[in-house]
Structure 1
Amino acid sequence: MTKSPGLRHGPVVPQLESLLRERIRQGRWKSGERLPSEVRLAAELGVGRSTVREAVRLLAHDGWLVVRHGSGTFVADPPPSAGEDGDLRGLLRRARVLEAFEVRRALEVEAARLAAARIRPEDVEELRALLHGRQERLGGDPAAFVDADLGFHRAVVDLAGNAVLSGLYATVQPVLRAALVELVVHETDLPDMSYAHADLLTALAHGDADGAIAATVEHLDAVITLVRSGEGGR
């Protein structure tokens, strides 16, 4: 399947979301107008139906589209204006995927440090169950695997016991999810970082902040290197 000339190599969902938003801004589809079907958009743009579905979901979340089950997807009436698009979530979604992963690294490294000092035995068991769920989904449905993976990391962030940190992570998470699903679907050389996740859990269980940080850095630096290469080094 050939990508649309407007889409570059690398995670496609954020690019497609931006492309569809720009078409709405330019009046390709008017307020209240129904968008072409998922199948038609996928064929026109040279992407998978799941990619179209995820981009539409993100645009609906930000108020650009309205999904009416059984009827189709419609442009919001009215759609957000450019001046209403400055919230942090919107900025993150328009930013390069690499920048979002760099923010993720900063948040998760600090979360690992704090969680190592605050984790309780019962928390370790919960993390172990979440990690087991992640491993069970490895190699299966990409979206289910990514949700399980981010669920594990979100739990570590929450164990840091810092509401601001958790809030920032929740804001970044949608763009991370979209990018990770794309990576799992399309990247043939995606490294298996299961060992780093296991190392993180072990370090947290022993209250080892340095070990938890090291495992987090090893995991996320590998992903960031992959994303960077996909964005042409930008």
Structure 2
Amino acid sequence: MPQLENLLRELIRNGRWKAGERLPSEVGLAAELGVGRSSVREALRLLARDGLVDVRHGSGTFVADVLPAIAETPDVNELLRRARLLEAYEVRRALEVEAARLAARRARPEDVERLKLRLRNRQERIGDEASAFVDADLDFHRAVVELSGNAVLLGLFTTVEPVLREALVEMVEHETDMPDVSCSHADLLAALENGDVEGAIAATVENLEAALTLIRTESADR
């Protein structure tokens, strides 16, 4: 995760941890930065490769006693925002693809009619303030998860929904090149109406990959 590596570089450059100081554990850094432990481990490996930190097995990871020159990196808050946004979208993709697959098999005509109303509400909120649009968008996607008939998927979605909402509101507010995924939403609805499993999966992937591609591309450019 390049953006996490850059974030840690920036924190070291700004003196968050002094030369020779021990960094928090991988678990502690992951919790503090809101990212996965494996991402922290990989970022620390790259920093060690570049001589910024010293990994001492059995003792921990320490800032190097003599730091090499550290190139300028993007704003810390922006890097942190993008790291969290990417992970939130990766979780969302995993949940919603499976939900769409099941919903295409189980949705009844009356369910699809109610879903049409939610999609219409989402479309009418385009251009409104970010929170109103995001609430309408998540209402539509929650309904699809509900139509999956899988209580575990719904429970997972309910658990991550607050994180998704926060990330999506930030995305709508900050991104200037947000992709228009109205067509993929319409395609998903049509697939559910027709019981088209592959079409429902394809529409969900198209919707979420558009945003994931934007996040990954802009993170790599920074």
Bin for the TM-score computed over the shorter chain: 0.5 to 0.7
Distance 1:135 1:193, change over 3 A: same
Aligned residues of 2:104 and 2:195 also touching (Cα < 8 A): yes
Structure (1 or 2) with the larger CA radius of gyration? 2
Residue 179 of structure 1 deviates from its aligned partner by 1.3
TM-score w.r.t. length of structure 1: 0.59
Q: Write out the 4+ residue segments of structure 1 that deviate beyond 4 Å after TM superposition.
A: none
Structure 2's unaligned 5+ residue stretches are 1-6, 8-26, 36-83
* Post-superposition offset of 1:233: 7.1
* Contact 1:97–1:175 (CA under 8 A) maintained in structure 2: no
* Bigger share in helix: 2
Share of identical aligned residues, percent? 65
Equivalent of 2:93 in 105, 123, 126: 105
Provide the secondary structure at the position in 1 that maps to 2:168. helix
What secondary structure is seen at the aligned counterpart in 2 of 1:232? Answer: helix
What pairs with 1:83-98 in structure 2 (closer than 5 Å)?
A: 94-95=34-35, 96-98=84-86
CA deviation profile, 1:4-23 (whole Å, cap 9, x unmatched): xxxx7xxxxxxxxxxxxxxx
Hey, what's the Cα distance between the residues in 1 that align with 2:217 and 2:162?
22
Q: Count matched residues.
A: 151
Q: Which residue of 1 is the match for residue 219 of structure 2?
A: 231
Q: Deviation digits for residues 46-80 of structure 1, max 9, x if unmatched?
A: xxxxxxxxxxxxxxxxxxxxxxxxxxxxxxxxxxx
Q: Kindly report which structure 2 residues correspond to 1:11-26, keeping only aligned pairs within 5 A, or say none.
A: none
Residue 111 of structure 2 corresponds to which residue in structure 1?
123
Q: TM-score, normalised by structure 2?
A: 0.62
- What value does the CA root-mean-square deviation take over the aligned residues? 2.7
Counterpart Cα distance in 2 of 1:181 and 1:97: 10
Instruction: Specify the alignment match of 2:145 in structure 1.
Output: 157
User: In structure 2, how many angstroms separate the alpha carbons of the residues matched to 1:115 and 1:136?
Assistant: 24
Contact 1:158 1:166 in 2 (8 A): yes
